[in-house]
Amino acid sequence: PGPRCQVGKFLGRGSYGRVAECTKMGSNETFAIKIVDDLRAGSEEMEAMKIIRSLNPDQNNLIKIHECFQYKDYMCLVYEMLDESLEDFIGKRSFHPAHLCQIRAIAQQMLVALSGLESINVLHGDIKPDNIMFVDQITNPLKLKLIDFGLAVNPQELNVGTQMQINPFRAPEVILGLPLDVSVDMWSLAVVLATLYIGDVPFSYNSDYETIRGLVQLLGLPEDDLLHYGKFSYDFFTYEEESSQPGWRLNTPFEYNLLRSMLAIDPRQRMTPSSALAHDFITMNHLSGERKRSPRTHKPRGSQIASPQVRPTHALSHTYSPSSGYPQPPRSNSLWPTDPPAPHARPITSAYRIPTSPAALRGPGG
């Protein structure tokens, strides 16, 4: 892009530009040049790199920048040449779990990097396998560096509700709309390490809801005060005040909630047509803001939390698995006895096989 560098082959493309090999004119030394087609984004990354220049890049496992310059409508940042990314490393292993000695080395180096950034009050904001790179797998197989500071920021500049990071590496405080600080990077790093350990990401990431649902499955409900003060908590949770055990519960997707209620095994608990017609999935009242929910100013009473509607489990599964905890509409019927049937009573059977997986329930094209 100019008299300073001779561009070679392109190595990859990101949100704002491309990365290519380059050599300085009159030199055989190879660098990586990031050509950013958004001048504002390029300038912000340049400013971030100026801030972290106070840290020794080799000691703190951070990518080293050599220079930056503008060429026409592009911002060009010249970095040291590194090897493959951690994402490539995982892919080449066909997503098999990494060895503990490898995970330990990666964890130690990235913790050093985050510790250095924290010392100068910088939040990286985009920790993921694609932004962790090996330096040289031939001469130093387990040496890594953290790259891409295009979204780095002083956390004090972030407002509550700021959207950042990508799923599945997005911290719960980002999703729930809580105050943000450098600890969001620690969450992302933990997800990266878990991915290395099990060979896949620990949470489903098709949506923020699926991520929160997976988090609840694995770790249980967030603390009451976090849900109370979260700007977006009610997008994922409901506070049940009129309950024998007042507390927070995870919202159920409308379509699954409806089907689960209609498919109740016990006919006495099965949803009636009139109840189904008033369901949010049919009326879509939730889209117009007419769905009744607890006021945001309400403070939960006591510390008791209602059991989540998804059973906590240690299984790191991406497959939706409806639990038996969904609330069922009460339905009284005096024709049904209150005592259990006699042992010789014939069980209720059906000639139809009812699918239970969401994919089967959606049907073709669903």
Beginning with the edge strand found earlier in the chain, give each strand of the sheet holding 65-71 in spatial order. 5-13, 17-24, 30-36, 74-80, 65-71
Q: Are the C-beta atoms of 143 and 108 separated by less than 8 Å?
A: no
246 DSSP β-pair partners: none
Radius of gyration over every alpha carbon of the chain, rounded to an integer in angstroms:
26
- Which active-site residues does the annotation give? 126
31 DSSP β-pair partners: 22, 80
* Alpha carbons 226 and 173: distance in angstroms, whole number: 8
Helix (H) or strand (E) holding 257: helix 254-262
By residue count, the chain amounts to 366
Helix (H) or strand (E) holding 13: strand 5-13
- Using a CB cutoff of 8 Å and minimum separation of 24, what contacts does 231-238 make? 231/160, 231/161, 231/176, 231/177, 231/178, 232/161, 232/175, 232/176, 232/177, 233/176, 233/177, 234/293, 234/294, 234/296, 235/208, 235/209, 236/175, 236/176, 236/208, 236/209, 236/212, 238/293, 238/294
| Structural tokens at position 282 | 């049919």
| Structural tokens at position 175 | 């999703």
* Alpha carbons 235 and 256: distance in angstroms, whole number: 16
- How many other CB atoms sit within 10 Å of the CB of residue 243? 11
18 DSSP β-pair partners: 13, 35
Helices (H) and strands (E) in the chain, counts: 11, 9
Annotated ligand binding at 92? The verdict is no
Q: Are the C-beta atoms of 211 and 170 separated by less than 8 Å?
A: yes
249 phi/psi in degrees, rounded to 5: -140, 155
Annotated binding site: 34
Annotated binding site for ATP: 34
